Chains A and B, each alone.
Chain A
Amino acid sequence: MALLERLKRPWPDHRAERMLGAVSLLVGVAIIAMVVFVVTRAWPIFQHNGISWLTGGASLEQEFARMSAASASPTAADYQLRAWPLIYGTLITTVMAVVLGLIVGLLASIFIVELAPARVSRAVIPMVRLLASIPSVVYGLIGILVLVPYVGNHLVTEHERRAMQGTVQLTGAGLGVTVVILTVMITPIMIALICEALVAVPSSWREGAVALGLNPLRAVRAVTLPAIRPAIVAAAVLATARALGEAVMIQMVSGGKSFAPRPGDGITFLWEPLRTLASAIVDYREGLASPPLKAAIYSFALLLLFAAFAMSISGYLVKLPLRKYQTRG
């Protein structure tokens, strides 16, 4: 028990410093190890395709079929991959969900903090926190059992289905349902962050604006919103991170076809099925025994890692010029 006694005594500063330094170094080492692990396993795809695996032009389903059937010693042709439809699917769902979420989240936060009576705010804020903590699989189930059949049976017209026949089938699972559920998933986090920032703006700033003759809503627009720009950026970055990583829910409702939805198709654009990088990993995760498919899955993971890093850095860069407005952080 002498050891226990020794540990319970207060540590000298240098020992505590070194211990905490070691722990933080461990985190850095873990990140670097993860990146190295993924890059080494994704390397065969770069080796056989160069950079052109990021472009499109071939049928991803056929490429996946060839990869799954490859033996333990695959040929160079088995490694062919043109993953643009997946990258495009990830981009379009994330951008649409985050933009929609920002608009709804900002307006909701302004209402909750500035305009709502106290009773309403007190009721709404716990509900928002509850929504933010619901596991995404639950959203996926609601999507696949309620939204997808509704869209497929009531919103998609026969004319649209005939127009797309031969290319893809419009069964209801597609871009529209994916973006709606993704937005519902990421907006509560944004509302929570922006509300916190709105509350932290010194009330004297807003009172000054009102004293100068602005009505409350214009005061918010003119004074509070510019002051919380760093928080809006932080909310957008957090929401994008969650949207990028969403795999299982998107796999359930996106239609599972590696197709790049075409905006030029009008309303059919919302019904077209797609696949994202994360949902492709979920779809083909059982194929890790086949070497080309394993390399392909790791290359999708590498792209997602890269996107996460790029977002962290761009979030930091966007916040730099906003430093002069900061009230906190």
Chain B
Amino acid sequence: MHRIRRLSVALAVTGALGVAAPAAANASALVTISGATSSYPLVALLAAKYNKLHPNKIRFKITQGGTTVGLNDVKAGSVTIADVAQEPTSADAGLDFYPIAKYAICVVTNKSNPVSNLTTAQITSIFTGKTKEWGSALGATATGPIDVFTRTSVAGVLTSFKSLLLEGKSVVSSATEEATEGLMRQAVESTPSGIGFLSNYQANKGGLNVVSVGGVACNQTTAAAGQYPGVSVFWEVTKGPATGAAAAFIHWIDSSAAAKKIIASQWVVIPPS
């Protein structure tokens, strides 16, 4: 009898503590973010830094899914902020776009096939399926058919890539679709005859050959200097003007030196307009 009473008291206390602790933590605001896999590393770093500088203010829940998924989520109200890696279109009326950084889209090939440079005409021709074979005309050491890798249709990097480096054309229908930047990287790394495209953060991690476009290398320096042609913007998107915790976070990214330092490490800071 005594043992049962002691046990139930112990359980009740643990239960009360278990409920109280998360309730105390829940005093902070919740910001949910979904969208582009290309801007996820940047947004994750910014959120971590924000929590370090302003502890217990905001609880971030960041998922990915691709730019289109983020846009649909924020329109439906299921997330507070969408990470978007493509320009706003007419279908995005009612959404507010806040630019946070610029990034470069790099064309990558396998390490065993070190193509050093391609013109935009050659890139278009390869990705639309007009040029089907590797060879010395492209400056490639590989021979044989080209394996084109692209992203699934929800990817913002794909939309930006098409408009910036593909002259608006679509990628050939036989290309293999990869769902995320990581999978695209793994695919090109393991296929000697492969070619694909990645944001500069993923491309310059090593293990791949990064192709220069029109004589300009693809990295953060050339993107910042405005020389590289394939530069696009990472946006944070809210439904209507950002309010509350979301507005505080976005304003912090825009104005704080710590945020600028993080952005400048791998990406391009947007100069104040």
Contact = CB atoms under 8 A, between A and B. Distances in A.
B174 A166 contact: yes
B176 A171 contact: yes
B145 A256 contact: no
Contacts of A152: 190-191
A68 B75 contact: no
Nearest to A4: B4
B183 to A, nearest CB: 9
Interface string B230-254: 0000000000000000000000000
Contact of B192 (A1, A68, A153): A153
Contacts of B23: none
B176 A283 contact: no
Contacts of A169: 145, 147-148, 174-176
Contacts of A289: 69, 72-73, 76, 78
B187 interface: yes
A256 B177 contact: yes
Interface string B170-201: 00111111110000001100111010000000
Contacts of B145: 158, 161-162, 165, 169
Given A68-B153, A153-B192, A290-B72, A61 B173 contact: yes
For the side of the interface on B, what is the size category?
35 or more
Interface in B132-185: 132, 144-145, 147-148, 152-154, 172-179
A164 B132 CA distance: 12
A65 interface: yes
For the side of the interface on A, what is the size category?
35 or more
Contacts of B1: 1
Contacts of B194: 171
Contacts of B186: 144
Contacts, number: 85
A71 B93 CA distance: 11
Contacts of A255: 176
Nearest to A173: B176
Interface string A1-44: 10010000000000000000000000000000000000000000
A79 B1 CA distance: 65
Contact of B76 (A1, A61, A72, A286): A72
Contacts of A64: 152-153
B129 interface: yes
A286 B69 contact: yes
Interface in A136-190: 144, 148-149, 152-153, 158, 161-162, 164-169, 171-172
A281 B1 CA distance: 54
B221 to A, nearest CB: 33
B265 to A, nearest CB: 28
A158 B144 contact: yes
Interface of B: 1, 4-5, 64-66, 68-69, 72-73, 75-76, 78, 91, 129, 132, 144-145, 147-148, 152-154, 172-179, 186-187, 190-192, 194
24 contacts: A1-B4, A61-B177, A64-B152, A65-B153, A68-B68, A68-B153, A72-B72, A72-B75, A144-B186, A149-B190, A165-B174, A169-B176, A171-B147, A171-B176, A171-B194, A256-B178, A256-B179, A257-B177, A283-B152, A286-B65, A286-B69, A287-B65, A289-B72, A289-B78
